[in-house]
Structure 1
Amino acid sequence: MSQGENDYAKDLQQLYTVAGKIDEGTQKAESFFSSACIYRVLEDLRKLNERAYTPRLIAIGPLHQEDKHLETPLQHVKLSYTNYLLSRLTPRMKDQLELTAGMKEELAKQQKLKVLQECLAELKTLVDDAKKCYAEEVTLNEETMLIDGCFILEFLYRYHIRTQTKCLAEMKTSIDDAKKCYAEEVTPDEVPERDPIFCNDLTLYTVQRDLVLLENQIPFFVLEKLFRLIVDQIPKRLNNNWLLPDYVGWCYNERMSPLPNSDDSSSSSAKTWYCSPRDSVLGVFRCTTAAEKEEVQSGNSDRRTAKYYHILHNLHEGCLPHDQTKQKNFSFREMPSASELVYAGVKFVPVAGNDMFKFKFSEPKGLFWWCRRARFEIPPLSIHDSTESYLRNLIALEHSCPGVSRHVSSYAGVMDTLVNTDKDIQVLEKAGVLRNHLGATQDATDLFNNLCKEIVFGDYFLDTCSKATEYSKRFWPKNMAHVRRTYFDSPWTFIAFVVGFIAFVISLVGFVRDSIKKV
């Protein structure tokens, strides 16, 4: 074979090798990303606060199953919760006196094995689809999906049961009225007294946080399948028409909620007692009203057909506004901070209602507009230890998963622009827009200042921010801001201004008096 033929053969072999690599890479990309919805957090985001994205007590799904710090006795609680959930389907045999204790135990065991077999068979058909939900190759089987899924469902169901007494007590509802709303009374055997999660508030708080981490998820359709096979079949279940998103919303409504609004009495009275753990807490998630409940029963509600990727996505979609119009041609960074806007005559007002993304700016109008203040309405937010982790994971979801709107990123952009210093936090706290439970004001300032690093803002709320910016640049607000900042920013500058003004008046009076005498 000649040299030319050898070169041609090598070139041809290289051609097919490169083409094969391209085809293989294309297939892997389509396999991983066409249906992927559970991602590892981008490294640039993770470096900013690694603890915000890492589970502390409970590993869900395959991404953190091998983490050494999670190899604790608490992992056995998942098996205990799974056993308890499966046992809820066994028939009640307390009144069957003809059966011995051994017979009752054996019958319950057989019933549990039957349910377990059915669940494993159904989940086995979902393994391949579940693996496609992860943006990398993972090891996942029906056993892992069963244990993790049953743990989540039992946790949500147990949280729902345990909060009934507290909810009824706070709303001053009598037990007799409560029994009318439930299919049966909550009996003590439905929830064990010594629960390693619910008997410790810190553990409960941490588990709730772990279940909403982007990397700590299993596909929502796995949870829905187990929900239909188990929870839907529980005899005389509390609120037996509830769907899985109802339990998720109930569990996280109070923990991730903004401030209660005492002026919004009309909206709270319109909701029935089963809508929220606290009727006074207007949560991030829309409460279920009586009318909506009837829609669910009749099958007319969109919530039956809504597609959620996982629990975090369920919470994200649950707090989106009805109006999702994008706005452009403006940058958040152009807007002044909260304290600068106050200098310009802007009054911050907490929004009445339960819409997390309802921003509104209104200018003063009328004949005496110059002595009135503009209003900047902002959704109220209560800042807790878990707030940063929750917001960061929602932002990570928006930046990882195609098709997820960047409302939370836009919200973070607005708050980051408004908050530059501790003084801005104090302004928003005084207005009732923020309630800081972190302790130091500097901690809240750092939270918002670091939240927007390495992210891309969405195209929402830009019109509102643009109106606030344009207003602050007008002649009257701009000069009033200069006067307030220069002469009224602190008691000392105000005293100096008063002393200077008095000295000026005395000098003016003396000058006028001398001028009159000369005349």
Structure 2
Amino acid sequence: MVAVYNKDSWYLITLKLRETLEANLPKTSTSTASADLLLDQQPHHQQPQHLPLRNQHQDPASTSLRVVILNDEAEIKPIEEGRPDEKTPSRGEPDWVISIRDRLDQARQDDAACPWSKLSIYRIPHYLKDGEDKAYVPQIVSLGPYHHGRKRLRQMDRHKWRALHRVLRRTRHDITLYLDAVKELEEKARPCYEGQIALSSNEFVEMMALDGCFILELFRGVAEGFKQLGYPRNDPVFSMRGSMHTIQRDMIMLENQIPMFILDRLLGIQLGDPDLKGLVAKLALRFFDPLMPTDEPLTQSDRNKLESLGHMTTFDPLSDYQSGLHCLEVFRRSLLNLGPKPVPGNWIKRWSNTNRVADKRRQQLIHCVTELREAGIKVRKQKTDRFWDIKFKNGVLRIPRLLIHDGTRSLFLNLIAFEQSHFDCSNEVTSYVVFMDNLVNSPEDVGYLHYCGIIEHWLGSDAEVADLFNRLCKEVVFDINDSYLSTLSVEVNRYYDHRWNTWRVSLKHNYFSNPWAIISLIAAVVLLLLTLAQTFYGV
């Protein structure tokens, strides 16, 4: 039995008699065909004069109805104007296809909202972390949006507000001056971070101004003295003691960066020159100097000699300033711009595809120290302040001094992560770390390099140093064709493959290692000559 009621252009259709529908209708029917067939079964006086499905002069407030029979059950659904019914066969798409289209639309919006060309502060890929969260995640202070609001990092927030208060009191500025300046740069700063930042405009501006002033107070305090800025000698944060080393290590992490142009603007306002550039980079290098992986003390004669050979240049952050993205990138440039920029070798391009994909199986640059010594290759320390400047000539491998401390692992890991993530970045640091990883396989290798004065470490044992190098590039896929040490590695391996060099070393080790072995060898040679002479005269 079917009952149809008409009231204010709304109709209630009650469907009964399931057996009748199964006998006369298909399993799925739509719209007017179903409605007409059902209405034809009713008495003439119950049929309405105008059906809403066919009404061409319907009131805009009214809604058309549609009868849909799915799985032997009838439903009454409104038809929205200008939008086809997503569940009807007229569109010909099931629910899961519609869901895919919705996700693609969301992906289109995300792609349009993330200009990848401006991205410079990256999230660490999960495959690089591999249990090294402590090396990538700040332990005391959060800077920027990635770790903003974490419960265990909130304790430093009160010191950030103290720093901002000190800046305003010293400069006699109003806070709106800094907020307005950061507000102007918000659209430029947000694309520097990866993904959508779940902060409102006001929250983002407040965070940038607060964190930026905190960073600048630390930079200026190290350069000028915290006492000159008005901080007491026993301040728990703004002093050259206590947690300063941990703060430095947190501030050099890739996920804990503030765009350099934000810091430039904030420092320019403090000094009365809003367009000031370059000074923050100099202050950053001064602040992060204790994290440098080398502190080779060069005498004045050594410096004069290197300068005469053109091997030393002074790093100027003002030169090529446009590449200054953040503090980690400036620190990396300072490591590599102390001398001529290393150039990858072209030795393998004659048979390798230029666009070859990096292969995890082809990361062996060189043999370990123990094997090189067995092949007659000597390892010596090179006097230079560029830790990456490795040389090989006439069987002697010269490596600069490297200082390893408890912050070296985090420093190298974040530099490698930046080189792996940033497209417009070379891979000198990664090349060096992979080279040292190949060179050090055991505590004995570390012990010999320490004996040569190449590795100086503050860790517990040589085994910890060997483990450090062996884990730095554990998940890094690196192409030796793109390494500035590729040509040197070929020369070393060519020397290593000569058997005469191995025989000569074996002879020297077995028969010329001490005076008694030399005397024994001479006696054996003399005895052999006398025996040959006696045999000759006997014949």
Give TM class, smaller chain. 0.7 to 0.9
From the superposition, tell whether residues 75 and 350 of structure 1 become closer, same or farther in structure 2 (CA, over 3 Å).
farther
1:33/1:135 contact within 8 Å kept: no
Q: What is residue 21 of structure 1 aligned with on the other side?
A: 103
**Residues 33, 387 of structure 1: alpha-carbon distance in 2 compared, 3 angstrom cutoff:** farther
Counterpart of 2:236?
Answer: 196
Structure 2 residue aligned with 1:49: 132
Q: Aligned partners of 1:312, 1:286: CA distance in 2, in Å?
A: 21
Task: Give the 5 Å matches for 1:91-490.
Answer: 111-113=172-174, 116-140=175-199, 141-162=204-225, 188=228, 190-199=230-239, 201-231=241-271, 243-263=279-299, 265=301, 267=303, 287=314, 302-303=319-320, 305-321=321-337, 322-327=340-345, 332-363=363-394, 374-457=395-478, 459-460=482-483, 461-483=485-507
Contact 1:409 1:456 in 2 (8 A): no
Aligned to 1:60: 143
Q: Name the amino acid aligned to 2:243.
A: T
- Amino acid of the residue matched to residue 479 of structure 1? W
C-alpha distance in 1, partners of 2:447/2:92?
71
SS of residue in 2 equivalent to 1:197 = coil
- 2:385 maps to a residue whose letter is N
In 1, Cα distance between equivalents of 2:147 and 2:370: 43
Query: Deviation at 1:498?
Result: 6.8
Structure 2 residue identity aligned to 1:348? V
Contact 2:295–2:385, Cα closer than 8 Å, also in 1: no
Query: What amino acid maps onto 1:419 in structure 2?
Result: V
Whether contact under 8 Å (2:218, 2:238) holds in the other structure is no
Distance in 1, matches of 2:210 and 2:253, equals 18
Whether contact under 8 Å (1:263, 1:352) holds in the other structure is no
Residues in 2 aligned to 1:312 and 1:425: alpha-carbon distance in whole angstroms: 28
Instruction: For 2:471 and 2:508, locate their aligned partners in 1 and report how far apart those are by CA, in whole Å.
Output: 29
Are positions 1:84 and 2:166 aligned together?
yes
Contact (CA 8 Å) 2:405, 2:459: kept in 1 or not? yes
The alignment partner of 1:10 has SS state of: coil
Contact 2:296 2:385 survives alignment (8 Å):
no
Would the alpha carbon gap of residues 232 and 253 (structure 1) be closer, same or farther in structure 2, given more than 3 Å must change? Answer: farther
Greater displacement, 333-342 / 475-484: 475-484
Report the CA distance shift for 1:32/1:445 in structure 2 as closer, same or farther (over 3 A): same
* Matched positions, count: 429
Q: Residue by residue, what CA displacement relative to the aligned partner does 1:282-339 show, whole Å, maximum 9, x if unpaired?
A: xxx9745xxx6xxx9xxxx534x42322211111222225434333566551521123
Distance 1:21 1:198, change over 3 A: closer
Task: From the superposition, tell whether residues 316 and 23 of structure 1 become closer, same or farther in structure 2 (CA, over 3 Å).
Answer: farther
CA distance in 2, matches of 1:207, 1:387: 14
CA change 1:20–1:198 in 2 (3 A) is closer
Change (3 A) 1:380 1:79: same
- C-alpha distance in 1, partners of 2:210/2:305? 40
Distance 2:322 2:184 in 1: 22
Report the equivalent of 1:168.
none
Q: Match of 2:379, SS?
A: strand
Identify the structure with the greater helix proportion: 1
8 Å Cα contact 1:32/1:133 also seen in 2: no
CA distance in 2, matches of 1:479, 1:270: 36
TM-score using structure 1 length: 0.72
**Counterpart AA for 2:319:** D
Deviation at 1:25, TM superposition (A): 0.9
Report how far residue 432 of structure 1 moved: 2.2
SS state at 1:354 partner: coil
What's the offset of the Cα at 1:20?
5.1
Q: Mind listing any 5+ residue stretches in structure 1 that lack a counterpart? A: 90-110, 164-186, 235-239, 272-284, 364-373
1:286/1:319 contact within 8 Å kept: no
Structure 1 residue 203, shift from structure 2 partner: 0.6
User: Comparing 5-14 with 471-480, which one deviates more in the overlay?
Assistant: 5-14
Aligned-pair identity in percent equals 26
- Residue of structure 2 equivalent to 1:175: none
Larger relative contact order (C-alpha < 8 A, sep ≥ 6)? 1
TM-score of the two chains, using structure 2 as the length reference: 0.70
- The residue matched to 2:364 in structure 1 has which SS? helix
Give the secondary-structure state (helix, strand or coil) at the position aligned to 2:114: helix
Aligned to 1:184: none
Partner SS state of residue 132, structure 1: helix
- CA distance in 1 between counterparts of 2:299 and 2:457 reads 21
Change (3 A) 1:64 1:263: same
Asked whether the equivalents of residues 340 and 481 of structure 1 are also in contact (C-alpha less than 8 Å), the reply is no
How far did residue 118 of structure 1 move?
1.0
Paired with 2:477 and 2:431, the residues of 1 have a C-alpha distance of 9
In the alignment, the residues of structure 2 paired with residue 267 and residue 191 of structure 1 have an alpha-carbon distance, to the nearest angstrom, of 38
**Does the 8 Å contact 2:264/2:277 carry over to 1?**
no
Secondary structure of the 2:392 match is strand
Of residues 509-518 and 136-145 in structure 1, the stretch that sits farther from structure 2 once superposed is 509-518
Q: Residue 53 of structure 1: CA displacement?
A: 0.9
Distance 1:136 1:241 in 2: 28
CA distance 1:142–1:428, shift in 2 (3 Å): same
User: 2:511 touches 2:518 (CA, 8 Å); kept in 1?
Assistant: no
Per-residue deviation, 1:68: 2.9
Residue pair 2:190, 2:197 contacting (<8 A) in 1 also: yes
Say if 1:76 and 1:481 are closer, same or farther in 2 by CA, change over 3 A: farther
Q: 1:48 to 1:131 in 2, by over 3 A?
A: same
SS of the residue aligned with 2:460?
coil
The Cα shift of 1:123 comes to: 0.9
Question: For the structure 1 residues 259 and 188, does the alpha-carbon distance in structure 2 shift closer, same or farther, using more than 3 Å as the test?
Answer: closer
**More strand by proportion, 1 or 2?**
2
Question: What is the CA–CA distance in structure 2 between the aligned matches of 1:324 and 1:505, rounded to whole Å?
Answer: 51
Following TM superposition, by how much is the alpha carbon of 1:497 offset from its aligned partner in structure 2, in angstroms?
Answer: 6.3
Letter in 1 for 2:179: L
Flag the structure with larger Rg.
2
Equivalent in the alignment of 2:57: none
Work out the CA distance in 2 between the residues paired with 1:324 and 1:270.
17
Any conservation in 2 of the 1:248–1:311 contact (CA below 8 Å)?
A: yes
C-alpha distance 219-486 of structure 1, shift in aligned 2 (>3 A) = farther
Aligned CA distance change for structure 1 residues 358 and 26 (closer, same or farther; 3 Å) = farther
